[in-house]
Each structure stands twice: as C-alpha cells, then as structure tokens.
Amino acid sequence: MTDAPILEAIALDKVFRVRRKGAPHDIHALKNVETQLHPGETLGLVGESGSGKTTLARILIGIEEPTRGEVRFEGNAVRSAEGWRELRRQVQYVFQDPFTALCPTMRIGAALAEPLAIHGICPKPERKDRVAKMLGLVGLSADMAGRLPYQLSGGQRQRVNLARALMLEPRVLICDEIVSGLDVSVQAQVLALLVDLQGKLDLSLIFISHDLRVVRYLCDRVQVMLLGDTVEHGPTAEVFDDPQHEYTRKLLDAIPDRDHAARISKSALQYG
C-alpha cells in the first residue's frame, strides 16, 4: 500500500442549490472530503442515507461536478473533457439497481458490446468474442447474449452489469450498493465473483454499502461518512474492532448480530 494512489479526491466540496418554499436553499452534500484509492485495494465507503457517499462516487467519475476541489487519476488532476473521457474508460461504475441499469429492449450481447463501440476500441467482428469471453468470466453462459433483461434473475442481471463495467478492462471499479437488493445466497455468489475478478484482473475497488457486515468482509480500508464529512477512516479491522469516533461506534452497535442477540436474550429474557 506504499504505492501512489490511483484515484484521489482532493478537498471536495459539493453544494446543491435547491428551492425550498420558493427561497433558494443550499445543501452541503460534501464538506472538504478527501479520499485515496491505492492500486489493488478495496475501499469501503459507509454511512447512512444522505451522508454523501454516492455524491462522492459520482464526482469521482465525473457524473457530478464538484463545487470546489479536484479529482486526480494516477497523480494528475482531471480537468479537460479529454481527461474525463480517459478516466471514464479506466474507472467504471456499477449501479445499485440491476433492474433499471439495463435497457429493457436491448439484448444482453448488444448491451455488453456498447461500451466497446462508444470508446471505439475493438473492431466490430471481434466484439462478439469479447462479449462471450466476458460472460464466461462472470459465470454466465454465452447464450445469455441473445436474451433480454426481463428473462434474467436479479443475480444474473447484477453479473451482466459487472460484465458490462469490465468490458473496457478498467483499473478501478466503483460498486454502489451492488448487493443490497439481492437475496443472501445470491449476494454471496456475487461477492465471491467480485473477489475472484479482483484477483484475476488486478482491479481497485470502491465499495459503497450500508451493510457493514459486507464491508467488513470485503474491504481493506474503510471510510465512514456522516452528513458530508469523513468522521473516521483506516484499515477495516482496526476501525471495526476499535472505533474512535462516537458515530462509528453507534453504527457498529446497530449491526444485527446473531451471537450478540443470543447473549442478550439469554441474560435478560424480558421478551420471552
């Protein structure tokens, strides 16, 4: 982890101006937030709804423009449209809802080939092979390419979304709540796939989740956010075992825990 960061956010501020009862009103979504992602690592972004984790991720790939601050990729500030185009090839985003992230009338094969066409990096005749190879990589059969999204289960769709993000061979993958809508057994399959792909493709991951159990399982480092501020960051095991900030402690206490619950019910039995 001594390597230079691959993706960085420097002193990001984001203010959304909205109208409330007619009067302009500023919402401070991010306040001077810094983040660093090193090659090969998995960074967990945690915090409750409204803490700014998705806003931060959206700024990192340029969907949202920061009010102040900058994004650096491999040490260079990204400013020009050219720079953002290159960054979006190297940094890919996987969205939360596997149902709305795919065009309902586009066959899976076409959806997977689209990024190649947009970036013009693979000659048309070879695209079909690339798509079949990628489907194999995420554990789907090649005949999936002819299907439409509605014919797929939630887990299969999330695999397709992963495959689509990986088509351009990115170096960074931003996963925004990608397993929260899935059943436990499917969630485990997708997590196992993610770990496997990360090893094979040398990916760096930013993993956003409100499920702290998944974050603890997957992430090397974790950054805890509250109302647009970073309240604590560090190696996952350290933060989880010895939280320094009161808010982190509160969050960790709220994790449902079968062992903890069993202890409580044995000692108290007040609801028995």
Which residues of the chain form contacts with another protein (CB under 8 A)?
48-50, 153-155, 183-189, 191-192, 195, 210-214, 216-218, 236-237, 250-262, 265-266, 270-272
Q: What angle, 0 to 180 degrees and rounded to 10, lies between the N-to-C axes of helices 108-119 and 154-166? A: 20
DSSP-assigned beta bridge partners for residue 8: 36, 72
Structure tokens at 63: 């969907």
- For residue 128, give every residue at least 6 positions away whose Cβ sits within 8 Å of its Cβ, in sequence order, or none: 109, 113, 145
- For residue 114, give every residue at least 6 positions away whose Cβ sits within 8 Å of its Cβ, in sequence order, or none: 106, 164
Nearer to another protein by Cβ, of 27 and 254: the residue is: 254
- Nearest-Å Rg of the Cα atoms of the chain is 20
Nearer to another protein by Cβ, of 17 and 258: the residue is: 258
Considering the complex, what minimum distance in angstroms separates the CB of residue 126 from another protein? 32
Nearest to 108 by CA among 158, 67, 60, 63: 158
Considering the complex, what minimum distance in angstroms separates the CB of residue 87 from another protein? 28
Nearer to another protein by Cβ, of 88 and 216: the residue is: 216
Considering the complex, what minimum distance in angstroms separates the CB of residue 225 from another protein? 12
Residues written for the chain: 272
Considering the complex, what minimum distance in angstroms separates the CB of residue 269 from another protein? 10
Helix, coil or strand: residue 113: helix
Nearer to another protein by Cβ, of 68 and 260: the residue is: 260
Considering the complex, what minimum distance in angstroms separates the CB of residue 114 from another protein? 27
Nearer to another protein by Cβ, of 124 and 266: the residue is: 266
Nearer to another protein by Cβ, of 24 and 256: the residue is: 256
Considering the complex, what minimum distance in angstroms separates the CB of residue 26 from another protein? 18
DSSP output for 135-190:
HHHTT--GGGGG--GGGS-HHHHHHHHHHHHHTT--SEEEEESTTTTS-HHHHHHH
Nearer to another protein by Cβ, of 60 and 214: the residue is: 214
Considering the complex, what minimum distance in angstroms separates the CB of residue 215 from another protein? 9
- For residue 14, give every residue at least 6 positions away whose Cβ sits within 8 Å of its Cβ, in sequence order, or none: 28, 29, 30, 52, 55, 59, 64, 66, 67, 228
In whole angstroms, what is the distance from residue 89 CA to residue 26 CA? Answer: 33
